[in-house]
A and B are shown apart, each in its own frame.
Chain A
C-alpha cells in the first residue's frame, strides 16, 4: 500500500525541548516538503528537498531543521528556538524533477507544546 506516513498523529512536548516529526514515503518520489498549518493561515512552507542530501528553506524556516539522508525519509526537527511551535504539521511528496508536479500529503502530526 503506497503512500506517505507521518508519526505520531499527536505529539506533546514541554517548552524548551527539541522534537522530531517523522515523514516516510514509499512512492519513489524525489521531492519532499514540510508545511505548517495554523487556523486561517493556510499551508506555509517550512522546508523542501528536491533530491537526497539537498534541501532548501521555505517561507518560515526559522526554528526548524531537516535532513534528507534517504529518499524515503524527510524528518523535521522543531527546535526550542521556534517561538510558537504548536501547530498541525503536514509532509508532502511529489515526483520532483523540474517543477511542481502533483503533491501528495500525509495525514499530519498535531504538535502541542506547553
Chain B
C-alpha cells in the first residue's frame, strides 16, 4: 500500500522568510496530492492540491511542486506571516479505484514575528 513520509516534523521561520515542507510517497499509481492546514483545535483545511499531470501549481503565496520520477512533492510558502503558523499535512491518493488518501505525519510550522 501507499506510504507517505513528511519532513521536517517542526519548522521555525522568521516572518517574511520562505518555508518548504517535503513529502515522499511510495505508490507510483498515486496521482493526487493535496496539502492541508490545521489550526489548533480545528479540523484540517485543504489549501492546495496537485494532480500528476502537472509539475507545479501556485495560489498566491502558496505553491506545490511534484516530481513523479523521484516520487516527491513539496509545499512552498513565501513571505510567511504569523497566521501561517499551523500544522501542515501532505497526502497522496489515486483518482482511480476506491482507496482513501494516505497522510503524512504533519509539520508544525511556527512563524516568528
Binding site for B on A (CB under 8 A): 4, 6, 33, 35, 40-43, 45, 48, 50, 58, 90, 92, 98-108, 110
Contacts and interface: CB of A to CB of B under 8 A. Distances in A.
A100 B106 contact: no
A34 to B, nearest CB: 10
Interface string B1-31: 0000010010000000000000000000000
Please classify how large the interface on chain B is, using the bins under 10, 10 to 19, 20 to 34, 35 or more: 20 to 34
B103 to A, nearest CB: 4
A4 B99 CA distance: 21
B96 A33 contact: no
A99 B89 CA distance: 19
- Counting from the closest, the 9 A-B pairs by CB-CB distance are A100-B93, A105-B43, A42-B105, A99-B95, A43-B103, A105-B44, A107-B43, A100-B101, A100-B32
A43 to B, nearest CB: 4
Nearest to B95: A99
Given A43-B89, A90-B44, A106-B43, A98 B95 contact: yes
A105 B45 contact: yes
B104 A99 contact: no
Interface in B89-113: 89, 93-101, 103-106
B46 A100 contact: no
B49 A43 contact: no
Contact of A108 (B32, B43, B89, B103): B43
B contact face: mostly helix, strand, loop, or mixed: loop
Contacts of A90: 43-44
A45 B46 CA distance: 17
B100 A102 contact: no
Contact of B46 (A42, A48, A103): A103
Contacts of B43: 4, 6, 90, 92, 105-108
16 contacts: A6-B43, A40-B9, A41-B105, A42-B6, A42-B104, A42-B105, A98-B96, A99-B94, A100-B94, A100-B101, A102-B34, A103-B34, A106-B43, A107-B42, A107-B43, A108-B41
